[in-house]
Structure 1
Amino acid sequence: MDGAEQSEDVNEAWRRNLFVCLAGSFTTIVAMTLLLPYLPIYVHELGVTDPAAVVQWSGIAYGATFFTAALTAPLWGALGDRYGRKSMLIRASLGMAVAMSLIGLAQNVWQLVALRLLTGLLGGYASGSTVLVAAQTPKDRSAWALGMLSAGIMAGSVVGPLLGGVAPELIGIRLTFLVAGATIFCAFLATAFLLKEDRRKTPSSALTTPRRPRVSAWSNVGDKGRVAALLLTAMLLMFATMSIEPIITVYVSALAHGSTAIASTAGVVMAAGALGTILSAPRLGKLADRVGHAPVICVCLLASAVLLALQATAVNNLELGILRFVTGLCLGGLLPAITASIRHTVAPASVGQILGYSISAQYVGQVAGPAVGGLIGGHLGMPAVFLCTSSVLLIGAVLAWRTREPAARATTAPTHP
């Protein structure tokens, strides 16, 4: 009887953990993305009046979060191994609740950037949730549980811009940040009092690679050129994606020709791209498994490059929204395909550390993308951002072709007598 009760308690625990992590991840992602439609408006409200400066500061403020997240992610991972994943989720949710609320109290653009840096320093709820759910869920249900969590994270990236386009017009920009902070605080309470972590199921060896391996994982990689190309492709993909996000609102305003409700329109345009990604990700994943990862990555990057070039010539926001949606369809699932390709290339003993390099490469793209996009947009105009980003994706497509499987490479290589 006691064994049955213990089994039932374990079943309830992992299901409850999944629900708490899903709700918390959804909430934090919404809070992180809801400011996108009105970030340039808030920068202007904080005293930046020059249009070029508004675009540049928007890119800096947006990328600041990813900069500190890249620097501190290894630290939080190591502390999570030592003190438990639940403690890291508690830290992330409470820290983000405080930081998000303080952003609503910023008095100048320097404070905004500093608080965005603080948000990245204290964040990491979604990535921590993924590790905890993977470790705590029974093996026969782990794929379903991680799929549910991934859907919640992607849903947050859709809902965030939509709310960001509507909420400031209803309650004001500053109060929107305070409400977001209060919502994340509710996630903190749920994490602290409802989430149950079984430390026996989360050995550090199952969660991360050793912090100081005796043998470098990179030295164990056979095809270093292929893996390096995959890492660089991941960085360029995130660079291209993030270079567009901060300037969407400014571009929407330019295409609106004096229309009002700019923030809400920008939110819909941003959500259209995320929605396309959600719809296409499972199908692209199945296709990549069937025909190979490199061909899918290459074709999707080429199609996205063409679509971004077309966005530079959009004549209205309806056309822009449609193009963003189709671009999302092409980009959906690319990062998972890159990750899967790395797993197929690298020996099991080195996969964890090489995937850590991949995450670091993505962070580099997330930091550089908004800053470079804002710089180009401020000096060369909004269409130039789309054209430059299109060129970046073309480079990524060339790299993706370099990552095709050795057998396919040998088939296309010229033979010599």
Structure 2
Amino acid sequence: MQVLRFRSRHYPLACGFHITTIRHRHNRRHTAVIFQCAGAFSDIPHWNRKTIALNHRHDMSTTQAAAGDASQMETPHPNGSFTQSNADENHEQYWKQNLVICLLGSFTTLIAMSLLLPFLPLYVEQLGVISHAAIVQWSGIAYGATFLAAAFVAPLWGRLGDRYGRKLMLIRASLGMAVAMSLIGMVTCVWQLVALRLFVGIAGGYSSGSMILVATQTPKDKTGWALGALSAGIMAGIMAGNLAGPLLGGALPPLIGIRATFWLAGGVIFLTFLATTFLIREERKPPKPTREEKTQSIWAAIPDKGPVVAMLVTGILLLFANMSIEPILTIYVMQLMDDQTKVTLVSGVVMAAAALGSILSSSRLGQLADRIGHTRVIIGALAVSALLLVPQAFVTDAWQLIGLRFLMGLALGGLLPCITSVIRHNVPDRVAGGILGYSVSAQYVGQVAGPVAGGFVGGHFGMRAVFLGTCLMMAAGAIYNWAVLRNSKTR
């Protein structure tokens, strides 16, 4: 009989045999649990400073038979769940690969979708719209149709992902966008253009679907970092799309034509479809719901709804605050500069500064959130951004605004990943996609309502009122999340 005393959760043991019997010193009865000894115990739950008696007086045949059984045995985890050891190894192997494919897919998809922005009015005119006012109107309708449709269908795709798999939703989104972009290059009237732009919103959503897949496939103690890295990739795609997309979109039509440019964008998205289909591995597919779960509403499955509702509100608040300022920045920069010929350039730098700050901070803030708590990072980010909005209302030079927008980007870079992580930690796996779909819809609501409110306030009360009003909203969001954190059962 060999007696060992352990002091931590990890139990180093250098041995070449399989342990076939374990008993606790306070329990004389042998426990019929078999472990494969591979150099360490890492999954024995809640045994701290306990004495374990290891009886290895078994013949070799018994040990070999036990080893065969152990390779298929479920091992207990500290959270009480049971998973196959082989599945855990595969899951650990593939979640990083999934993250890379989702990041690259989101990046390329966003750039491809940005190609149409510079020449969309020209394409509308080419389709037979004559008057200047009508061209502007139809261009706005065609552009906004995608976001309107996406806001309505995001919860549906989330629930279908819960039932049939999140990888399937990414395949559907990438293939749908590739087909739609290619068909846009074949339309003959403006109504067909609007209809296909609606179809892009209905069938698309690759970036938001990537967030859901990464959130559900990544180990929970790594979700903050993984979602932060993915968010940085998405922000980089948006920034590159805003810069390189219009450049390519302006250069390609004279060379290959407007229609061929859409076909090229469809081909790029089709490459994302192929990478998603053959390289993403969804190791933990959602379990099939029971008959009772099928009839249960998605909200009834959430044990503590407070944090989830807070994240939906915070998502609306974040996009509302950002988009209420973006449309007026060019006019605000115009008021700060004497040389009006550089207004467009400086306005682009101001917008890019915030995006660059978010790219640099998102993964770091995600790592910090994994250590100290995602809600605490959200509270801090909202509070810091509220403080930074006050001096933005009183700047006297454009370079001051650039610096403050960069700092604000640093503060807000981890917000969206933290919102997703809080939802992920507070809902069961079988409804995670549906709730995250509602979160995406909430963000679209803020994205649509923000410019309208910002334009109204800026037009009636001045530009400074927009910054100060947004400051109050951010401060209110920080206080609200602090109250939810205090009252919530899950911290």
Task: Give the TM-score taking structure 1 as reference length.
Answer: 0.70
**2:314 maps to 1:233:** yes
Structure 2 unmatched ranges of 5 or more = 1-93, 124-130
State the number of aligned residues.
389
Range 285-294 or range 236-245, more displaced: 285-294
Amino acid at match of 1:88: A
**2:155 maps to 1:71:** no
- 3-state DSSP of counterpart to 1:217: coil
> What's the CA shift for 1:329?
0.6
Aligned to 1:354: 435
Q: How does 1:107-256 map to 2 (within 5 A)?
A: 119-129=200-210, 150-163=231-244, 181=262, 183-191=264-272, 196-197=277-278, 205=286, 213-256=294-337
Counterpart contact for 1:64–1:116, Cα < 8 Å: yes
Amino acid at match of 1:272: A
**2:313 maps to 1:313:** no
Amino acid at match of 2:176: R
Structure 1 unmatched ranges of 5 or more = 1-12, 49-53, 411-417
Aligned to 2:377: 296
Amino acid at match of 2:469: C
Cα distance between partner residues in 1 of 2:300 and 2:372: 29
Q: 1:114 to 1:216 in 2, by over 3 A?
A: closer
**2:444 maps to 1:363:** yes
Counterpart contact for 2:374–2:422, Cα < 8 Å: yes
Aligned to 2:13: none
Among residues 469, 477, 487, which one is paired with 1:396 in the alignment? 477
Cα distance between partner residues in 2 of 1:88 and 1:307: 37
- 3-state DSSP of counterpart to 1:126: helix
Amino acid at match of 1:90: L
> What's the CA shift for 1:291?
2.8
Aligned to 1:333: 414
Counterpart contact for 1:37–1:267, Cα < 8 Å: no
Task: Give the TM-score taking structure 2 as reference length.
Answer: 0.61
Deviations 1:160-197, CA, capped at 9 Å, x for gaps:
23336866887899x99879745522313424666544
Q: 1:96 to 1:401 in 2, by over 3 A?
A: farther
Q: 1:32 to 1:286 in 2, by over 3 A?
A: same
Cα distance between partner residues in 1 of 2:257 and 2:437: 34
Counterpart contact for 1:37–1:249, Cα < 8 Å: no
Deviations 1:274-328, CA, capped at 9 Å, x for gaps:
1111211222223223333333222211211122232222223222111111001
Counterpart contact for 1:208–1:352, Cα < 8 Å: no
- 3-state DSSP of counterpart to 1:400: helix
Deviations 1:347-388, CA, capped at 9 Å, x for gaps:
455544333332332222222222222333344333332222
Amino acid at match of 1:333: G
> What's the CA shift for 1:124?
1.4
> What's the CA shift for 1:95?
1.9
Aligned to 1:94: 179
Residue identity (%): 49
Range 199-208 or range 149-158, more displaced: 199-208
Counterpart contact for 2:159–2:431, Cα < 8 Å: no
Cα distance between partner residues in 2 of 1:311 and 1:194: 43
> What's the CA shift for 1:92?
1.5
> Which of 1 and 2 has greater Rg?
2
Counterpart contact for 1:284–1:333, Cα < 8 Å: yes
Cα distance between partner residues in 2 of 1:58 and 1:306: 37
Counterpart contact for 1:38–1:249, Cα < 8 Å: no
Cα distance between partner residues in 2 of 1:207 and 1:128: 20
Cα distance between partner residues in 2 of 1:16 and 1:34: 28
> What's the CA shift for 1:246?
2.7
Amino acid at match of 1:299: G
Counterpart contact for 1:102–1:115, Cα < 8 Å: no
Amino acid at match of 2:315: A
Q: 1:166 to 1:67 in 2, by over 3 A?
A: same
Cα distance between partner residues in 2 of 1:31 and 1:261: 28
Counterpart contact for 1:135–1:207, Cα < 8 Å: no
Cα distance between partner residues in 1 of 2:119 and 2:393: 21
Range 264-273 or range 111-120, more displaced: 111-120
Aligned to 1:26: 107
Deviations 1:62-120, CA, capped at 9 Å, x for gaps:
76543221112345557774994424311113324655x799x999xx99988865653
Aligned to 2:462: 381
Aligned to 2:350: 269
- 3-state DSSP of counterpart to 1:313: coil
**What RMSD in Å do the two structures reach over aligned CA positions?**
5.2
Q: 1:129 to 1:393 in 2, by over 3 A?
A: closer
Amino acid at match of 1:354: I
Q: 1:297 to 1:95 in 2, by over 3 A?
A: same
Aligned to 1:6: none
Cα distance between partner residues in 2 of 1:263 and 1:208: 54
Amino acid at match of 2:265: I
Per residue, is there more helix in 1 or in 2? Answer: 1
Cα distance between partner residues in 2 of 1:97 and 1:122: 14
